[in-house]
Amino acid sequence: MNYRTQGLFLFALICIPSLAGAHDPDEPALEVPEIAVVGERPIAASSQQFIPDKEILLQPQGRPAQILRLIPGFLAVEHSGGAGKADQYFLRGFDADHGTDVGFFLDGMPINLRTHAHGQGYTDLNFIIPETIEGVDVHKGSYLPEYGDFSTAGAVNFRTRDVVKEGVLQGAGGEYHTQRYLLMLSPTKERVRTLFAAEGFYTNGPYQNDNQYNRTNLLGKVTTNLTGRDEISLKATFLHSKWDGSGEIPLRTVTRGVLDRFGAINPYEGGNTLRTTGHLNYHYDTTSGGQFFANAYGQYYRLDLFTDFTFFLNDPVGGDGFSQFDRRAIYGGDIGFKQRAEFLAMPMIGTVGFQTRVDDVHTKLGNQTLRIPTGTRIDSDALTLSYSPFVKAEVEPLPWVRFSGGVRGEYFTFDVSNRCAACAERPAGQKGSGLVLPKMSMILGPWAKTEFFVNYGEGFHSNDARSAVAIGASPLARARNYEVGVRSRPWGPQGIELIATVWRLDLKSELVLVGDEGTTDIRGATRRQGVEVAARGQVWGPLYVNGSFTWTHAEFRNGDAIPLAPEYTAYGAAILQWPEGLTSQFQATYLGVRPLVEDRSIKSPSWITFDVSERYRIPVKLPHGRLEAFLFVQNLFNTQWEQAIFAFDSRLRNEPAGVTDIHFVPGNPRTVMGGLAWYF
């Protein structure tokens, strides 16, 4: 049985039970009235967090990744002077590039892409419509057996709504020809619950080379109950976007007055992408406190990307532009059983599960000039399969002690074939590799409305299949996470929650992106450690705050700095619900100085930006529905700041040789966007 047949067989094992249900078809359906249950989500670590939709909806529209700054220590910036690409992510001392060390999920479906043409774990969140998200679950560290590949520094799971109470038709516009349109509604809300959403977005951005970024998103979701004890949900999404990019520009061109901050050396950067997904979630609750669950998904993805980092360093005539093409199908899912019970008067929950995933990829890297191909360097087919059994146990031996832990197994197979006999680099071969990853957590309290947490867990990220099959390569990079923390609500459940966490993360090998080759180098072991403090909750009446500060020390085990690793980050927001239907938010985001090279001789500047959001419920009576106006002002004080920033060699056409310089993407200037929404 070959690898593709194995993947299809495992996918069928997951799909068939979920479609067939978990009950006798002759058993009469039990009608159970809908019951609203409100309670605390079980917390396994002090750094675990849930972001509610009320904060998501107050973020400026246009970039779904803006949501991530609500997570302490998490930042996302645009990477190439154009909004169509995946963002650059920072968390716990990681420049996670486009997602290498942060796992992203949508209702449990993985978003990170293995063996991607532009970088391992590539994660483009632009297929998410923020208004369809009811909340975001955040799990830092590797303490939960449910999460595997890429969840080194943490995992982020976006949870979609089943229905919306009111339909919404919205139009918005702003500077740089920015436009956004949204339609979202739930035609049925009872036995069959439906959600449909459509988004259109366009902007030129502040760049002299207009982005012409055009994005179309669709989502459809149907949820129902086949019996009185189960629930099945089917969801599909569609994304298509295209854009022109201004790229990363050399600092020397700006300081000499040769180029504007928002100019471009090569105005032919950019690309287009398409992503379609289908996702099934099913669970059946037994009469004895158990739950059977089965989930399955399939995705098709396409990317054409045109980039130029070094300009004329390697090719003084045609230039160093290169193209990256990615075509793939992804399918997989999980199946398992959870049981609640009591043993010697101790409440317990046991879970056993199995996950599998298949990435069937065709990826290509070549030279290009003005988006016209001029040569091929790598042209490969790569098939990656993973098999991931896990067990988890939660027990409460005393009212003030909880234990949670388990073990996760990982086994990967990599199969790479070369499609270009004339290419200088021809990765090919087969390899298998596995890991066993223990996880454990202890929670003490509450005492005086305070809980204490101790966590240990091992996680990993997979490496690009083209690197994994090389002789002597390490296909899977193990990470060890340690964490101690405290959470307290000294003023009661409705007051401010205070959080403090001390953590350490040791990674066996580091992936460093070589952008102008589209490959990665496997580097030595690293250690990251730091402190996070956060406060969130209701201060008084209509005033709600959310703030955090993080410090991180990150370096290779030989003492070298890890380029781009953040040391200090901070975020603060105040939300005020005024009495006349007006909601205001004022927020600030800070990123401190970072080393850009291993010897710390070149560093990036720090920056801080401020945003204002306003939403106003218009007191006008309509025959059907209501109106709401909204306004977003980003970078309120028009600060000059840098988003993506790197130090490397490049050469301009009139330069005799390469120059080591800082290259950066400028942060957006003050930008205003507003609109009107009709809720019906």
- 147 within some domain: yes
**Cα gap 263→165, rounded to integer Å:** 45
* Helix, strand, coil in percent for the chain, rounding step 5: 5, 55, 35
Residue 5: pLDDT over 50 = no
Pairing of strands 450-462, 429-447: antiparallel
Residue 6: pLDDT over 80 = no
Q: Tell me if 167 sits within 8 A of 679, measured CB to CB.
A: yes
**Cα gap 46→155, rounded to integer Å:** 14
**Cα gap 332→334, rounded to integer Å:** 7
**Which of 25-39, 330-344, 628-642 is least confident?**
25-39
CA of 160: how far to CAs of 128, 167, 196, 302, in Å? 9, 15, 11, 24
Residue 21: pLDDT over 60 = no
CATH of the domain at 580: 2.40.170.20
Backbone CA torsion sign across 470, 511, 7, 356: positive
- 35 within some domain: no
| Tokens 């490496």 sit on residue | 463
Residue 76: pLDDT over 50 = yes
Residue 19: pLDDT over 90 = no
**Cα gap 497→49, rounded to integer Å:** 11
**Cα gap 299→331, rounded to integer Å:** 6
The neighbour count for residue 158, using CB atoms within 10 Å, is 24
Residue 352: pLDDT over 50 = yes
Backbone CA torsion sign across 105, 110, 116, 119: positive
pTM: 0.93
> pLDDT averaged over the chain?
91
Outline where DSSP puts E strands in 210-268: 213-224, 230-245, 249-250
- 61 within some domain: yes
Q: What local confidence, expressed as pLDDT, does residue 257 receive? A: 96
Residue 37: pLDDT over 70 = no
Instruction: Quote the tokens at residue 486.
Output: 């405290």
Q: Which amino acid is at 367?
A: N
Instruction: Quote the tokens at residue 72.
Output: 């302490």
Backbone CA torsion sign across 423, 425, 430, 432: negative
Reported as a pLDDT band with limits 50, 70 and 90, residue 473 is: confident
- 449 within some domain: yes
Residue 12: pLDDT over 50 = no
CA nearest 591: which of 674, 667, 647? 667
Q: What local confidence, expressed as pLDDT, does residue 517 receive? A: 63
- 32 within some domain: no
Reported as a pLDDT band with limits 50, 70 and 90, residue 2 is: low
User: What is the count of structural domains for the chain?
Assistant: 1
**Which of 5-14, 157-166, 398-407, 633-642 is least confident?**
5-14
Residue 14: pLDDT over 80 = no
Residue 226: pLDDT over 90 = yes
Residue 17: pLDDT over 50 = no
Q: Tell me if 583 sits within 8 A of 576, measured CB to CB.
A: yes
**Which of 310-314, 518-522, 608-612 is least confident?**
518-522
Check residue 306 and report its DSSP letter: E
Residues 6+ apart with CB under 8 A from 387: 10, 354, 355, 356, 409, 410, 411, 412
Q: Tell me if 46 sits within 8 A of 486, measured CB to CB.
A: yes
Q: What local confidence, expressed as pLDDT, does residue 534 receive? A: 98
The neighbour count for residue 503, using CB atoms within 10 Å, is 26
Check residue 189 and report its DSSP letter: B
Residue 218: pLDDT over 60 = yes
Domain range for residue 484? 3-22+44-679
pLDDT tens figures, 131-161: 999 999 999 999 999 999 999 999 999 999 9
Rounded to 5 degrees, φ, ψ at 621 are -80, 130
Reported as a pLDDT band with limits 50, 70 and 90, residue 471 is: confident
Rounded to 5 degrees, φ, ψ at 67 are -60, -30
Displacement of CA 233 from its chain's centroid (Å): 22
Helix (H, G, I), strand (E, B) or coil at 12: helix
Q: What local confidence, expressed as pLDDT, does residue 510 receive? A: 67
CA of 243: how far to CAs of 24, 240, 250, 664, in Å? 52, 11, 21, 19
- 36 within some domain: no
Instruction: Quote the tokens at residue 579.
Output: 């009495």
**Cα gap 337→302, rounded to integer Å:** 35
Reported as a pLDDT band with limits 50, 70 and 90, residue 83 is: confident
Outline where DSSP puts E strands in 509-606: 510-514, 519-523, 526-540, 543-556, 568-577, 582-591, 594-595, 603-604
Residue 43: pLDDT over 80 = yes
- Give the rounded percent of residues in the chain with a pLDDT score beyond 90: 84
Helix (H, G, I), strand (E, B) or coil at 55: helix
138, containing H or E segment:
strand 133-140
Helix (H, G, I), strand (E, B) or coil at 662: strand
**Cα gap 499→49, rounded to integer Å:** 10
Q: What local confidence, expressed as pLDDT, does residue 376 receive? A: 94
pLDDT, mean of residues 668-675: 97
pLDDT tens figures, 477-535: 999 999 999 999 999 888 999 999 999 999 987 655 454 464 556 678 999 999 999 99
- 39 within some domain: no
**Does a cis peptide bond (omega within 30 degrees of 0) precede residue 446?**
yes
Q: Tell me if 375 sits within 8 A of 367, measured CB to CB.
A: yes
- Give the rounded percent of residues in the chain with a pLDDT score beyond 70: 92
Reported as a pLDDT band with limits 50, 70 and 90, residue 435 is: very high
CA dihedral in degrees (326, 435, 140, 354; nearest 10)?
80
Residue 10: pLDDT over 90 = no
pLDDT, mean of residues 558-578: 95
Q: Tell me if 41 sits within 8 A of 420, measured CB to CB.
A: no
Q: Tell me if 476 sits within 8 A of 467, measured CB to CB.
A: no
Q: What local confidence, expressed as pLDDT, does residue 8 receive? A: 42
pLDDT, mean of residues 630-648: 96
Residues 6+ apart with CB under 8 A from 399: none
Q: What local confidence, expressed as pLDDT, does residue 427 receive? A: 85
- 27 within some domain: no
Q: Tell me if 351 sits within 8 A of 391, measured CB to CB.
A: yes
